């Protein structure tokens, strides 16, 4: 179970997130919906430590952790960001194996072995040597998912994972998320796409912009 309790975040004195709490049981997918500007990406950035929350607590299976602490975050929580965030100057394989070597201290051989397995699972075999600009939107989306999974996170957050996809590819990504619902993984999905939310969500919460 992942729990975030009473998370608050201000930017320049404007309260974006106020005492927001959520929980995701093991093997469940929580969808977060809400209007543009409501603070959904900010919330995911706080959960994954890219922003520091002003207050609030985070627990994985009743153990408190701090997402902004690199050691706590390692293999705990990963983010597939809205713009994929792939390194344009690295190939698919290089994108996937970089962080496992730097952060998890895997050898290059171990990182490649793990990457190959995930690349196969997400139907990207044959794309290893291509650069991001040589991929379609859906392929980039899946590389971003592979890159996050290569860090073996227990909690995976996705920011608008279907925004670059047609309905068929959205359904494919939905299937992938549903397949990941094992090994006690918890997933949090921010989306505007209600069909996608219906396909994957075990629970849906709505965020509203604060006055
Ligand atoms: N680093 C920042 N500095 C200042 N303000 C910020 C920063 N990041 C986000 N904001 C503001 O916080 C608010 C919420 O932004 P956020 O990106 O979280 O919204 P969102 O719900 O993800 O919207 P969308 O659905 O359009 O992606 C916006 O008003 C935005 O301008
Ligand atoms: Mg957003």
The one-character DSSP state at 187 is E
Q: Kindly state if the Cβ of 38 falls inside 6 Å of ligand 1.
A: yes
Q: Is the pLDDT of residue 138 over 90?
A: no
* Strand partners of residue 78: 156
pLDDT digits (tens, 9 = 90+) for 85-96: 999 999 999 999
- Beta pairing, strands 203-206 & 77-80: unpaired
**What counts of helices (H) and strands (E) characterise the chain?**
7, 9
Q: What is the pLDDT of residue 74?
A: 79
Helix (H) or strand (E) holding 199: helix 194-200
Higher pLDDT: 84 or 5? It is 5
Q: Whose CA is nearest to atom 10 of ligand 1?
A: 11
The answer to whether the CB of 37 is under 6 A from ligand 1 is: yes
Cα-flanking dihedrals φ and ψ of residue 43, to 5°? Answer: -60, -45
Across the strands, what pairs with 157?
Answer: 79, 188
User: What interhelical angle do 108-121 and 92-102 show, nearest 10?
Assistant: 130
Query: Which atom of ligand 1 is the closest one to the Cα of 43?
Result: 18
Q: What is the pLDDT of residues 154-196, one digit of tens each?
A: 999 999 999 878 888 888 889 989 999 988 899 999 999 999 9
Average pLDDT over residues 31-56: 95
Residue 129 pLDDT greater than 90, yes or no: yes
When pLDDT is averaged across residues 30-58 and rounded to a whole number, the result is 95
Q: What does the pLDDT read at residue 168? A: 85
Q: Is the CB of 16 inside a 6 Å radius of any atom of ligand 1?
A: yes
Instruction: Give CA–CA dist 96/119, Å, rounded.
Output: 9
**Ligand 1 contact, 209 CB (< 6 A):** no
Provide the pLDDT confidence category of residue 210 given band limits of 50, 70 and 90. confident
pTM of the model: 0.92
**Cβ burial, residue 63 (10 Å; 0-12/13-18/19+):** exposed
- Positive or negative torsion for Cα 165, 167, 172, 175: positive
What are the tokens at 106?
Answer: 């895997």
* Nearest residue to 146 via CA among 198, 182, 100, 197: 100
């Amino acid at each position: 179970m992942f729990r975030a309790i009473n998370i608050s975040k201000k930017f320049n004195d404007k309260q974006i997130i106020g005492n927001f709490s959520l929980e995701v049981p093991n093997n469940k997918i929580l969808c977060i919906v809400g209007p543009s500007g409501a603070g959904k990406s900010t919330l995911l950035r706080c959960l994954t430590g890219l922003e520091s929350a002003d207050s609030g607590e985070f627990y994985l299976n009743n153990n408190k952790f701090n997402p902004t602490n690199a050691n706590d975050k390692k293999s705990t929580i990963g983010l597939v960001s809205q713009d994929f965030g792939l390194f344009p100057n690295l190939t698919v394989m290089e994108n996937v194996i970089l962080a496992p070597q730097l952060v998890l201290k895997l050898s290059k051989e171990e990182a490649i072995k793990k990457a190959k397995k995930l690349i196969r699972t997400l139907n990207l075999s044959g794309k290893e040597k291509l650069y991001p600009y040589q991929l379609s939107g859906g392929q980039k989306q899946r590389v971003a998912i592979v890159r996050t999974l290569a860090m073996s996170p227990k909690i995976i957050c996705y920011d608008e994972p279907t925004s670059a996809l047609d309905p068929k590819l959205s359904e494919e990504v939905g299937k992938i998320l549903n397949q990941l619902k094992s090994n006690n993984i918890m997933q949090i999905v921010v989306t505007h796409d209600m069909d996608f939310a219906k396909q994957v969500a075990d629970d849906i919460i709505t965020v509203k912009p604060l006055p």
